[in-house]
Amino acid sequence: MFRTARRIVTTSVVALMLVGTATAASADEPVRTVAASVTSVESGLTLSVTGAGYTDLPATSFGPGAGVYAAIIPDGADPSTVTGSSGHIGVTYVRLSQLVDGALATSVSALPADLTRDAEYDILVWTAHGNPTPETVLARADITITAPQRAAMIATTPTITGTAQVGRTVTADTATWGAQVEDFEYQWFADDEKIDGATSKTFAITKSQLGKTLTVTATAEAGTATEVSRGSASSAPVERKTTVRVVSATSGLTLAVTGQDYTNLPNSQTGPAAGVYVAVVDSDTAIADITGGAGHHGVAYVPNASFSDGDFVTSLAIPASELEADGDYDILVWTAHGNPIASSVVTRIPVNLTNAQRTTMVSVTPTITGLAKVGAKLTASVGSWADKAELTYQWLADGTPIDGATSSTYTLTDAELGKAITVTVAGTPSGLAATTLSSPATSPVAAASTVGAVSISGTAAVGKKLTAKPGTWDDGTTFTYQWLRSGTPIAGKTASTYTLTAADRGKVISVKVTAVNETTGNAVVTAKTAAVKYGTIAKAPTPKISGTVKVGKTLTVKKGTWDSGVTFTYQWYRSGKKISGATKSTYKLVKADKGKTIKVKVKAKKAGYTTVTKTSKATAKVK
């Protein structure tokens, strides 16, 4: 339905010549007229539409008349079939304010593709807004179109299809025009100069057109009164012929690139051409972003010496990890040496890929990692494929699918003993079909290995040494160790033994043993202790007192030899009572000590160890 918004609604239409008569009006309505004349047939049909009496417009279902619509419709068509999007081939809206004194003056157009050469058309005027109804149709008239106008109105600008390269063939496409006209003549031009003998629908490009742009003129019904000519837009400058062929699109992409007529090459970034570089690049990568080490997926250098009469052949291999299933790629050729610049680029052409090739080029032939041994876990490795497609897996034993074995890993059971294992992987990139690849087979599955039970010997107390015992394994097994404190690796503790420190007190100590041999591969087993207890200070001698037991003399404690790392505090006693402030390793006897015995207590502390207190023997009575 035509919109109710107060704006001009126009479809793209082409100009025709119309001459028409007004529709009959009722006795109570003003007489309304409409006429149309062709003003242009260059790009379809453009009409000048005029009329009078467009006052007191009837109301529509949307309200009072807001102007009129004028549309080109097929001759004799029922107005009720006309809507905003169908039933006409061109329409325009004229606001009420534009109908000065009831006069209608507007234009309406139709495109060549919407016109039929021998068809008859009417101009229809009705009140806006809404679709036309018997109550809102105001005027209708025939459109008169001459034979030359009919021939011209369906004419379209020809386009050139094909690649503008030496040795390739391009085609003049007359599109919908060609569907209505059978008799065409053609003339091809290079840089606007006529090419002698180039008068066919197709043209085979030669070396003489290298660097020039091509155009073509199509003429219908030449030499008649209805002769019409249209010229195409210019092609890109003709390049040297370069072709690319997909040699392989499985687990990557291998391309063969052929160049012809590579003579008189432009200078490179660094000087005269020393050959060409051929690279695979993303279609949206700018030339300025391409260097020797970036911006491409692979590059080949073809030196001058490799050319044969200006021709060359080279190949490029791109791994699957560099490709995307929905990616678009080009071959870029530029003169060596240096990075490509606008003046050194010889050609840039697309790499045409089928959906099947897109599917398979990102695939990766799966490989199996892990040991073929009962109890061992095998893993299907697919590299970058996992990031490019939705993958499904199926493990097989001697070619027979293993029930339920449909993940990327599989742990071998006794049922596979003696059988060769393979895995098939099916990958489905978004929007494309699936491809399936199979891994090479493993060796026959061997019996399960002997796996030792790791244990820890030693006392779980600070200062004690723990020893990891890996147990019994197959011959030839080597071991590595990692000690852990409450599950966290202890830096640098990778021997089979470990001496507990103060930091371990109260924590659980464990050891991770990795066993490696030809049959089991890497097997990891662990063991742990109970919470580590305080250590015991091993060397704790009883202190002795030296010095003369007489008032005014100084006594000294001889504490003996203790474990390293021990710190000491002292307390002196007089006949069993603590002497205030006497807390050093020496004590000077005072009058209060006379007649009393003296002794000293030594308290030994060490981080992570139980504190030890030792008391000396009492001295004789102080004199």
CATH of the domain at 339: 2.60.40.10
Give, rounded to a whole angstrom, the gap between the first and last alpha carbons of the chain. Answer: 130
DSSP 8-class letter at 442: P
Instruction: Tokens for 143, please give them.
Output: 């459109």
Neighbours of 31 (CB within 10 A): 11
**Coil vs helix vs strand at 179:** helix
Q: Which phi and psi angles does 185 have, rounded to 5°?
A: -120, 150
What band does 417 get if pLDDT is binned at 50, 70 and 90?
A: very high
The whole-angstrom separation of Cα 475 and Cα 88 is 91
Considering its fold, how many domains does the chain have in total? 6
Supply 62's token pair.
Answer: 């949307």
Q: What is the pLDDT of residue 576?
A: 92
- Confidence band, pLDDT 50/70/90 cuts, at residue 13: very low
The pLDDT-based confidence of 2 (bands split at 50, 70, 90) is low
Q: Which of 8, 75, 7 is nearest to 36 (CA)?
A: 75
Please name every residue paired with 397 in a beta bridge, in sequence order, or none if there are none: 400, 421
pLDDT, one tens digit per residue, over 428-437 is 888 888 899 9
- CA 429/CA 386 separation, integer angstroms: 10
191 CA to centre of own chain: 42
Q: Which residues of 416-429 are buried (b: 16+ CB within 10 A; e: fewer)?
A: beebbbbbbbebbb
- In whole angstroms, give the CA distance from residue 493 to residue 249: 50
Neighbouring-strand partners of residue 331: 280, 349
What one-character DSSP code corresponds to residue 56?
S
Report the pLDDT value the prediction gives residue 387, as an integer from 0 to 100. 87
- 588 found inside a domain: yes
What is the CB neighbour count within 10 angstroms for residue 322? Answer: 18
Closest CA relative to residue 460, chosen from 527, 525, 414, 517? 527
* Amino acid (1-letter code) at residue 499: T
Contact 460, 533 (CB under 8 A): yes
Alpha carbon 215 to its chain centroid, in Å, reads 40
User: Are residue 106 and residue 169 in the same domain, yes or no?
Assistant: no
Lowest-pLDDT range of 80-84, 135-139, 182-186, 523-527:
523-527
Structure tokens at 174: 């007359």
What is the C-alpha to C-alpha distance for residues 152 and 204, in angstroms, rounded to an integer? 29
**How remote is the C-alpha of 101 from its chain's centroid?**
64
Could you read off the pLDDT of 172-212 as tens digits, one per residue?
Answer: 999 889 889 888 999 999 999 999 999 999 999 998 999 89
Amino acid at 259: G
pLDDT number for residue 16: 29
Residue 148 lies in a domain: yes
Which domain, by its residues, includes 75? 33-152
SS3 209: helix
pLDDT(123) > 90: yes
If 0-12 CB within 10 Å is exposed, 13-18 middle and 19+ buried, where does residue 569 land? middle
CA distances from 258 to 30, 243, 247, 291, 311 (A): 76, 5, 12, 22, 7
Q: Read off the pLDDT band of 517 (50, 70, 90).
A: confident
pLDDT tens profile 252-281: 999 999 999 898 899 999 999 999 999 999
- Residue 385 φ then ψ, to 5°: -55, -35
Give the mean pLDDT of 124-133.
94
Pick the closest to residue 69 from 125, 8, 144 (CA basis). 125
**3-class DSSP state of 295:** coil
Structure tokens belonging to residue 580:
């205030």
How confident is the model at residue 276, as a pLDDT? Answer: 96
Same domain, 247 and 313: yes
Q: How confident is the model at residue 307 (pLDDT cuts 50, 70, 90)?
A: very high
* In-domain check, residue 4: no
Q: Is residue 620 part of a domain?
A: no
Joined tokens for residue 388: 């490019």
Asked, for residue 312, whether it belongs to a domain, the answer is yes
Give yes or no for residue 25 having a pLDDT over 80: no
Among 57, 44, 35, residue whose Cα is nearest residue 16: 44
Q: Distance (Å, rounded) from C-alpha 421 to C-alpha 438?
A: 11
Q: Is the pLDDT of residue 522 over 90?
A: no
Nearest-5° angle of CA 181, CA 183, CA 188? Answer: 110
Tokens for 164, please give them: 């503008």
Q: Is the CB of residue 256 less than 8 Å from the CB of residue 268?
A: no
Task: Output the DSSP codes for 19-69.
Answer: ---PPP--TTS---EEEEEEEE-TTSEEEEEEEE---SPPPBTTBS--EEE
- pLDDT confidence tier of residue 348, bands split at 50, 70 and 90: very high
Provide the whole-model pTM: 0.52
Q: What percent of the chain has pLDDT over 70?
A: 95
Same domain for 521 and 568, yes or no, is no
Average pLDDT over residues 447-469: 87
Same domain, residue pair 246 and 351: yes
The verdict on 368 and 354 lying in the same domain is no
Edge-to-edge order in the sheet of strand 521-531: 488-489, 478-485, 508-517, 521-531
pLDDT of 317 > 70? The answer is yes
Single residue among 152, 169, 202 that ends a domain in this structure: 152
Asked whether the bond before 129 is cis by omega within 30 degrees of 0, the reply is yes
In a domain, 28, yes or no: no
pLDDT score of 14: 28
| Same domain membership, residue 521 and residue 423 | no
Q: Is 254 exposed, middle or buried (0-12, 13-18, 19+ CB in 10 A)?
A: middle
Mean pLDDT of 592-608: 94
Percent of the chain surpassing pLDDT 90: 77
- CB contact at 8 A, 389 and 427: yes
Whether 468 and 570 share a structural domain? no
Min mean pLDDT across 71-80, 173-182, 444-453, 524-533 is at: 444-453
Domain boundary among 110, 134, 152: 152
Q: Enumerate helices (H) and strands (E) in the chain, giving the number of each.
A: 4, 42
Question: Does 267 lie in the same domain as 160?
Answer: no
- Tell me, yes or no, whether 316 and 287 share the same domain: yes
Structure tokens at 271: 């000087």
Region 73-84 average pLDDT: 93
Q: Are residues 352 and 278 in the same domain?
A: yes
Whether residues 476 and 504 share a domain: the answer is: yes
Note the pLDDT of residue 521: 62
The answer to whether residue 537 is domain-embedded is no
Same domain for 78 and 133: yes
Considering the domain boundaries, does residue 462 fall inside one?
Answer: yes
More confident residue, 7 or 86: 86
Given a cut of 70, is residue 408 above it in pLDDT?
yes
Is the pLDDT at 340 greater than 70, yes or no? yes
Residues 532, 505 contacting (CB under 8 angstroms): yes
- Average per-residue pLDDT in the chain? 90
Boundary residue ending a domain (328, 358, 388)? 358
The CATH number of residue 516's host domain is 2.60.40.2700
Q: Alpha helices, DSSP H only, in 257-415?
A: 355-361, 385-388
